[in-house]
Amino acid sequence: MTDATDVQAFEDGSAEDRELLGGKGANLAEMVGLGLPVPPGFTVTTEACREYLRTGELADDLWERIEHQVDALEEKMGRTLGDVEAPLLVSVRSGAPASMPGMMDTVLNLGIGSVAEEGLAAETDERFARDAHRRFVEMFGEIVLGIDADALAGVRDEVVADAGVDDASELDADQLADLIGRERDLVRGETGEDLPDDPREQLRAAIAAVFGSWDNDRARNYRRMEGIPDDLGTAVNVQAMVFGNRGQDSATGVAFSRDPSTGEPRPYGDWLRDAQGEDVVAGIRATEDLADLADEMPEIHAQLTDILQRLEEHYRDVQDVEFTVEDGTLWILQTRTGKRSAQAALRIAVDLVDEGVIDEDEAVRRVSPDDIDRLLHPQFDPEVDYEVLTTGLAASPGAASGEVVLTADEAARRGRDGDAVILVRIETSPDDVHGLDAARGVLTARGGLVSHAAIVARSLGKPAVCGADEVTIDLDAKTFQVGDVTVSEGEVISLDGATGEVVVGEVDLVEPRPEERFHLLLRWADERRRLGVRANADTADDAATAREFGAEGIGLCRTEHMFLGDRVPLVRRFVLASDDDERTDALRELESVQEEDFAALLEAMDGLPVTVRLLDAPLHEFLPDTEELVAADATGDLDDEGAALLDAVRTWAEVNPMLGTRAVRLAVLHPELYRMQVRALVKAAERRRGDGGDPHVQIMIPLVINGPETAAAIGWVREAIDEVDGEGVDVSIGAMIETPSAALLAEEIAGEAQFLSFGTNDLTQMTLGFSRDDVAGRVVQPYVDQGLLPVDPFQSVHEDTVGRLVRSAVASGRRGREDVDLGICGEHGGDPDSIRFFHDVGLAYVSCSPFRVPVARLAAAHAALAERDDDR
Amino acid sequence: MTDATDVQAFEDGSAEDRELLGGKGANLAEMVGLGLPVPPGFTVTTEACREYLRTGELADDLWERIEHQVDALEEKMGRTLGDVEAPLLVSVRSGAPASMPGMMDTVLNLGIGSVAEEGLAAETDERFARDAHRRFVEMFGEIVLGIDADALAGVRDEVVADAGVDDASELDADQLADLIGRERDLVRGETGEDLPDDPREQLRAAIAAVFGSWDNDRARNYRRMEGIPDDLGTAVNVQAMVFGNRGQDSATGVAFSRDPSTGEPRPYGDWLRDAQGEDVVAGIRATEDLADLADEMPEIHAQLTDILQRLEEHYRDVQDVEFTVEDGTLWILQTRTGKRSAQAALRIAVDLVDEGVIDEDEAVRRVSPDDIDRLLHPQFDPEVDYEVLTTGLAASPGAASGEVVLTADEAARRGRDGDAVILVRIETSPDDVHGLDAARGVLTARGGLVSHAAIVARSLGKPAVCGADEVTIDLDAKTFQVGDVTVSEGEVISLDGATGEVVVGEVDLVEPRPEERFHLLLRWADERRRLGVRANADTADDAATAREFGAEGIGLCRTEHMFLGDRVPLVRRFVLASDDDERTDALRELESVQEEDFAALLEAMDGLPVTVRLLDAPLHEFLPDTEELVAADATGDLDDEGAALLDAVRTWAEVNPMLGTRAVRLAVLHPELYRMQVRALVKAAERRRGDGGDPHVQIMIPLVINGPETAAAIGWVREAIDEVDGEGVDVSIGAMIETPSAALLAEEIAGEAQFLSFGTNDLTQMTLGFSRDDVAGRVVQPYVDQGLLPVDPFQSVHEDTVGRLVRSAVASGRRGREDVDLGICGEHGGDPDSIRFFHDVGLAYVSCSPFRVPVARLAAAHAALAERDDDR
């Protein structure tokens, strides 16, 4: 059957056939089409693989077609597999449509055996031929026959030791013959059969092994993680071998069409004379850079540079090429889109627009939100080595080094003195914020990506590694421990919150350098996105940072911090008050200090909307720690105030505080709390107006469950506005949709509220019944690892459940009020996958940490472009 | 307009016109139609009221029609309003379509003034006329003019004191004239106007006042609570006065066609010679019973008995009648369906079927689930007086007296000794179960209707009063306090868990006496219901009780108790184990003891399904209290095991345990826990089979969130069944739908699970974000009181949210598996309103506490009958 598509010579394919030929095969075909010097060969396609996976065997008619292609290849090369005169050797490589780590990769020098070795020796020399044979036996043994790599290495080490040399490359021809013999013995011992000497038998086994590796555990797990369908299958590329190790006119290397680290528009690469590709990768010998190639092999260099340029123009993107020079002839073995650093991604995208190669849409597509994120934070220098002590959750990007401190007070004191410190805690609470603020970074043993430490660190733009569960802290000894390693307070550690790595000692950092191209690309993104991007910012400083990063307002100002710090005594007076007068007094003082907080915030966001969430936390968060009071009580060290506090702590303690007496519920019990906040806010806005400012206030009621409750809360807000004659201020009043109940009743809530803001953190917690503080590390990770959840639902919106509630609430909210303003202010507001979802359901804006704002701007543009692409 | 329906003479209406005439007016019309001796009159209808409420005034044309009816009434009676010869007096009474406490009620003797008083005095005597006048002034003053009742009473007390008599009934004619004068002076002082002397002016004001009272706060609140529409309006009945206080041939009384307390089929009532109706109600003079009427006024008695019988036959239900004998003539002033005790309701319903008056459907309808509940529990004797110390939530019905004990251990010890004790705690935990089990009842200061104490008490059929937040406990002093009252350990208190009342000292109780009629009525109910009724039962004892009450299986066996008591050391060994071997050992021992538990349970429920929920609680529930350990640590009293336990407590402590590492999540971390439980259960079932039993096992996975997780858990269950060769046992495996996520993904879960059981407790907690332990008393009650929630969502399913999730999960569950078995096992399974809902959405069964099973059987029958009625 000549029209069969299960085996194709490179010259018969094209890059369009990626699904059929796999990525590698499609690119080889494309290069042949471009007339580039590619060693001839053919692709056994994914169609053949799928058939193999169905039947469990390589069908005879397929094998016939493969042999037909082998015949054609022999004819093209003027060489024959297993020939004693002019033996043909081939490489066999897998190549799936998507990059697929974990599958069987490459067997080189296939076709060699006792006969071909003799032929090859005659053409080159005996040592070269035996070395090629040795390499084949090792690769075929490990990869196709499944011999333990350590066992093979053991045999090799014996021979190397017997020979008294340093490694296998120094073995002479006889010693190599001995090694080959012993390796073949090992194979026979392990498998009960000889390693096949017949090249066609070798080829058939190698192709079957590649196909079979599609179904191994690592490949399956990878596909599940990446959402790649199990039924795609992989292709296999069979290609004539060329040798970069055939003497001083031979060489091998990898080259990029532009610098993948900086993005500079000049070819970049490494090469080695008289070597095979694996020698470059293994780093046994020091490689030379491409400038040296220009000096040493000027013609090859000119030819390679030309090819790189042609490939980049053809693919309209940076190419990463494998090349080999055999006896003065340049061969291109592979090309693919070049992986690049964040910085390079940005520069290349913008440069390619300048060069007229791609348009702005494409440039925006080419930079990932992760790239933008990395550009905003220092990182461990990728050029230096370090030993990782432990790895936790990558909770807030950026890297830092500093001396270990174990309490927030100590961090605050040392930080004030200008010392670089890293706060290490089991977990953090609102009481630790001053320490987090003063530290360069934070490491916690417990808590997930949306734990207190993680959220605060992200909002401060500081690195955090959370839920590092190997860490145990001994506060008495002032140390923490990971396995056998003990780290004392005062010792320096480093952490990278983009990778979760923790290192003892200092690690060199690479500082962020947002440059003109950064702002240009984000302007392009802004022109394309439909979603607005606001920031979660609690203070004037946060607001200023957010504005610099392009935030179009504040989507969430948490007012809890206005009750902390030096206000704690006032809050405690309110809680402990024995009558209304005392309570009113305490609130009056809180009102006047909070007015200043709001005034500063509104000034920093002048002209843009500022969404203020009224008090959300339960009262016991402003009270001292129970255990300390209990311990003091047990030892008789509790004074009268302490006793009153212990009473209050016990009164207000809750079994499940997240579902307890907080937010609007607390306000139902004490409406004066919300009235106080609203008066302070509206008075601050009035003052801004008096000073010629342009304040836009949005007041948000948290944790509502239904319409009547929302109406009641909005009633107190309106009363408070009236109390301070705030009619002149631009105020809208809305509700947070963060209980499943509110999502289900969005219609009646929107009947009362002018805007709805989804609080997807709490909505996720309640919908899945996942307390983020408790299950994030302990439960969610095992669930994701075991495939019980597709993704960490605190990182990306769980579309099947939380997403479904959001989607239906958007529709019903609009039924309740046609022009209801819809946004989202949970941690998901900074997650690209979630942003795509929020775009799709039609929200007006997302709100995220200030440092995530640029990320969100880009992700929102990606969402808009993807939608446009889908519509085509 | 003669066809106007806003005013109607009694003889023109019928009981069909209830909406228009109100309940009272409709019954008066009906009695006139039956030819009974009803004083003539007319009804100003609800239509007139609605018009009044719209316009705020009594329209002139309406008033014309009223005057027309007054003219007709005068003609009929041969008397004239305000006449000096034969004055007509009338009563004015409100009468809404539904019973409506809180509205203006009754003005008697309207029409009297200086002229009519003279006429009446001529007909009777001066003292009688003045007394009638005095009564009118007081009622009209208070009810129509809004004069403070205490102010009126103050004037009366002065005159009574001046006269040197005991009360107003002893005042002579002159003193009454003085009193009337002073009362009229008070009215003038308060209102600035004279109390009207003109009868028609009185009438117009009284009618307007009744209409206006429809909108007062008490009436509005009542309607909101009862779900009565605000736009129904009330009617007003104007009726010629007859006097039971015109001498020895006059009398007044109330009579029931059957005994409303016992249901005995004989007329029952109270009457007074020479008295007005209010004297009977006020209880100033000792009333006589109807047997005495037979002796003293035999003809009247015969006539009344005949009328009662005719009314009962006509209305096909027990009637409660007001009658007056004026100068030897019997008048019936009102009839209505008689309220009755639970016992009477049951007896009357069954007797009326025996008598052929109603059918079995109607008998089932006539008994309320609350009646059934009351019949199963002792109550405070309604005949005795007691002083209520405090009132908490009525958490588990029944009443008990006993000595106060403040710890579970003490309760257990004293209970074992046979002492009657009441356990008083701030709240209870699983550690207190032995104390709850030994006590006669429990009182808690915190916790709601689904708190631990409430649930356990209901499952034990013991009275509980929970969330009595006035109670503070001082464990050191061994007392508890309510306001100024201190109650010490050992003092006797009584509590009634059907009313929430707590009393110091012993209160006489009425014991439950389920009799043959009880079982007969429930058999009728069983024949009518579609919903199955199972019980939540954890032990063989519970199961036996449930079976006696008619449970058709166990819908929820919580296995937590199998990890408590003498098993706690084993569980702690499991938690503290340093390696797998230790863990396995501990589990092996747990397995063998749990096998015995399951064997007993299956024996008690032989032949019926037994649904076993695998471990649901988090591990820290089996660890000691943190505070105790912390205190011991602070004082240096912690031994090595204590230190290990403190470590474990801290490791497993959770911020929001309800949403934490429990149930199937704990099993994902430790699948061997579930395997152990399943092996024990299946081995027990195998043994039952070997012993000739008929076990039906349903294994239920709690707290699932999606399909893959359910599949994984079912996988462990199947493995465990295989491990013990349990293929011969009838086992089905299902999942609990108790997270919103599970409700949303019911389709994929039903694809894995053979049955789904809704856990509406947790589903309510997560959907509304209400931690029942924390908000039940503190938040939910204010929400209900303020109209922010229609009903306590832990008592009745919140249909708009939780109900919506259940409804959609039922539909999608059936898409996932056509024949999926659907039930509900939350506390709502015993709530009649929720049962109606579960019937409507098409569940197969409800499961509730054993003592609620009869209630649920009846409620399920009501649901089926209501559905049939709706379909008509």
Interface test with B, best of A224, A774, A783, A789 (most B CBs within 10 A): A774
Q: With contacts defined as CB-CB under 8 Å, which chain A residues touch B658?
A: 655-656, 659, 769, 771
- The sign of the torsion formed by the CA atoms of B3, B7, B9, B10 equals positive
Report which of residues B203 and A639 the model is more confident about. Answer: B203
Q: What is the mean pLDDT of residues A213-219?
A: 84
Helix, strand and coil percent figures for chain A, each rounded to 5:
50, 15, 30
Contact list in B for residue A801 (CB cut-off 8 A) is 705-706, 740-741, 744-745
CA B253 – CA B447 distance, rounded (Å): 46
3-class secondary structure, B311: helix
Q: Evaluate whether B390 touches B482 at the Cβ level (below 8 Å).
A: yes
CB-based contact A208:A52 (threshold 8 Å)? yes
Cβ neighbours of A668 in B, within 8 Å: 779, 782-783, 786, 788
CB pairs under 8 A between A and B: 196
Instruction: Please tell me the pTM assigned to this model.
Output: 0.82
pLDDT at B687: 95
* Position A548, amino acid: E
| Cβ-Cβ contacts under 8 Å, B632 against chain A | 634
Question: What is the Rg, in whole angstroms, of the alpha carbon atoms belonging to chain A?
Answer: 33
Radius of gyration from C-alpha coordinates of chain B? 33
CA A309 to chain B, closest CA, distance in angstroms equals: 49
Q: What is B484-502 written as a DSSP string?
A: TEEEETT-EEEEETTTTEE
Give me B294's structure tokens.
């037979």
Closest-CA residue of chain B to A634: B631
Phi, psi of A340 (to 5 degrees): -145, 160
What local confidence, expressed as pLDDT, does residue A781 receive?
Answer: 84
Least CA distance to A703: which residue of chain B?
Answer: B769
Substitution target in A670, A766, A797, A802 with the highest count of B β-carbons within 10 Å is A766
* Chain B residues close to A627, C-beta within 8 Å: 626-627, 630
Q: Which residues of A touch B659 (CB under 8 A)?
A: 656, 658-659, 765-766, 769-771, 774-775
- State the DSSP code for B776: I
| Buried-state track B816-845, b at ≥16 Cβ within 10 A, e below 16 | bbeebbbbbbbbbbbbbbbbbbbbebebbb
Who has greater pLDDT, A764 or B269? A764
Minimal Cβ distance to A656: which of B773, B798, B804: B773
Instruction: Calculate ∠ Cα B861-B865-B868, nearest 5°.
Output: 145
Q: Among positive and negative, which fits the CA dihedral A191, A193, A194, A195?
A: negative
- ipTM above 0.95 for this complex: no
Residue B488 near residue B478, CB atoms below 8 Å: yes
When CB atoms are compared, the residue of B659, B703, B805 closest to A656 is B659
Which chain A residues have a beta carbon less than 8 Å from that of B752? none
Cα separation of A137 and A125, whole Å? 19
Cα B684 from Cα B678, distance rounded (Å): 10
Q: Specify the DSSP class assigned to residue A421.
A: E
Q: Which residues pair with B442 in a beta bridge?
A: B423, B464
- Residue A386's SS3 state is coil
Judged by CB atoms closer than 8 Å, whether chains meet at B801 and A669 is answered as no
Mean pLDDT of chain B: 91
Residues 6+ apart with CB under 8 A from A695: A602, A606, A610, A684, A685, A688, A689, A729, A730
Contact criterion met (CB < 8 Å) for A744 and B766: no
Extract the tokens encoding A245.
């190790």
Nearest to B656 among A631, A656, A798 (CB): A656
Out of A630, A738, A788, closest to residue B712 by CB: A788
- A788 to chain B, minimum CA–CA distance in Å? 5
Which pair of structure tokens corresponds to residue A308?
A: 């790189």
Alpha helices in B355-407 (DSSP H): 360-366, 369-375
Would you call B636 exposed, middle or buried from its count of C-beta atoms within 10 A (0-12, 13-18, 19+)?
Answer: exposed
SS3 A269: strand
Q: Would you put residue B225 in left (φ > 0), alpha (ψ -120 to 50) or beta?
A: alpha
Binned at pLDDT 50, 70 and 90, residue B513 comes out as low
Rounded to an integer, what distance in angstroms lies between the CA atom of residue B850 and that of residue B548? 9
Quote the minimal CA–CA distance from A240 to chain B in Å. Answer: 46
Check CB contact under 8 Å for B660 and A630.
no
For residue A224, give both structure tokens.
């599940």
Chain centre to alpha carbon of residue B160: 43
Q: Name chain A contacts of B768, Cβ cutoff 8 Å.
A: 705, 739-741
- Interval A438-484: pLDDT, tens: 899 999 998 766 577 887 887 677 899 988 989 999 988 999 999 99
Tokens of A152: 């093979």
- Which of A744, A761, A789, A806 should we substitute to test contact with B (largest number of B Cβ atoms within 10 Å)? A744
Alpha-carbon gap, residue B334 to B336, rounded angstroms: 7
The pLDDT score that the predictor gives to residue A225 is 65
Q: Which of A177-181, B12-16, B705-709, B735-739 has the lowest mean pLDDT?
A: B12-16
Tabulate helix, strand, coil % of chain B (nearest 5).
50, 15, 30
Using a CB-CB cut-off of 8 Å, the residues of chain A touching B773 are: 654-656
Most confident of B211-225, B285-299, B342-356: B342-356
**What is the pLDDT, as a whole number, of residue B375?**
87
- Residue B641 three-state SS: helix
Say if the Cβ atoms of A656 and B661 lie within 8 Å.
no
Residues with Cβ within 8 Å of A327's Cβ and at least 6 positions away in sequence, in order, are A246, A247, A249, A250
Average pLDDT over residues B433-460: 82
* Contact criterion met (CB < 8 Å) for A708 and B789: yes
pLDDT tens, position by position, A558-613: 999 899 888 999 999 998 888 889 999 999 999 999 999 999 999 999 999 999 99
pLDDT tens sequence across B830-872: 999 999 999 999 999 999 999 899 999 999 999 999 999 888 7
A452 annotated active-site: yes
**B655 vs A626, A635, A657: nearest CB:** A657
CA distance A626 to chain B (A): 8
* Residues of A in Cβ contact (< 8 Å) with B741: 767-769, 798, 801
Identify the helix (H) or strand (E) that includes residue B393: strand B393-396
Which of A377, A452, A696, A862 does the annotation list as catalytic? A452
Q: Within 13 Å and on the Cβ side, how many CA atoms surround B732?
A: 19
Q: Which residue has the tokens 């769980």?
A: A798
- Classify residue B391 by burial, with Cβ atoms within 10 Å: 0-12, 13-18, 19+: middle
Catalytic residue among A825, A828, A839, A862: A825
The beta-carbon neighbor of B705 closest among A657, A769, A782 is A769
Tell me what pLDDT residue A101 has: 67
Distance, in Å, from the CA atom of B28 to the CA atom of B717, rounded to the nearest integer, reads 68
Indicate the residue of A655, A668, A740 with minimum beta-carbon distance to B657: A655
CB contacts of B788 in chain A (<8 Å) are 668, 706, 708-709, 712
Inter-chain touch A771–B656, beta carbons under 8 Å? yes
The sheet with strand A268-273 has its strands ordered as A288-289, A268-273, A251-256, A319-326, A329-337
Beta strands across the sheet bearing B479-482: B471-474, B479-482, B485-488
Does residue A72 contact residue A2 with C-beta atoms inside 8 Å? no
State the Cα–Cα distance between residues A580 and A585, nearest whole angstrom.
Answer: 9
Distance between B734 CA and the closest CA of chain A, angstroms:
17
For A608-654, what is the HEC assignment? CEEEEECCCCCHHHHCCCHHHHHHHHHCCCCCHHHHHHHHHHHHHCC
Residues A624, A645: Cα–Cα separation, whole Å: 8
> Which whole number is the average pLDDT over B284-295?
81
B180-196 b/e with 16+ CB inside 10 Å = b? Answer: bebbbebbeeeeeeebb
On average, the pLDDT of chain A sits at 91
d(CA B697, CA B694): 10
Q: State the Cα–Cα distance between residues B366 and B360, nearest whole angstrom.
A: 10
A769 vs B708, B741, B775: nearest CB: B741
Residue A687: how many other CB atoms lie within 10 Å? 17
Distance from CA of B429 to the nearest CA of A (A): 12
| pLDDT-wise least confident of A272-286, B721-735, B769-783 | A272-286
Q: What is the rounded distance in angstroms from the CA atom of residue A242 to the CA atom of residue B17?
A: 104
Q: At what angle do helices B516-528 and B342-354 cross, to 10 degrees?
A: 70
pLDDT over 90 percentage in chain B: 69
Q: Which of B655, B712, B787 sits opposite A774 (nearest CB)?
A: B655
**Which of A763, A788, A798, A805 should one mutate to test binding to chain B, selecting the residue with the greatest count of B CBs within 10 A?**
A788
B803 secondary structure, DSSP code? I
**CA distance, residue B646 to nearest chain A CA (Å):** 12
Contact A766 B766 (CB under 8 A): yes
Contact B293, B268 (CB under 8 A): no
**Which residue numbers of B are catalytic?**
452, 825
Instruction: List, for residues A378-425, the tens digit of each pLDDT value.
Output: 888 877 889 999 999 887 888 999 999 999 989 988 988 889 999 999
Instruction: Please write the tens of the pLDDT for every residue from B814-825.
Output: 999 999 999 999
Contact between residue A641 and residue A624 where contact means Cβ atoms under 8 Å apart: no
Measured CA to CA, the distance from residue B859 to residue A318 in angstroms comes to 74
User: Is residue B702 exposed (0-12), middle (13-18) or buried (19+ Cβ within 10 Å)?
Assistant: buried
Chain centroid to Cα B777, Å, comes to 17
pLDDT tens digit sequence for B67-99: 999 999 999 999 999 999 899 999 999 999 887
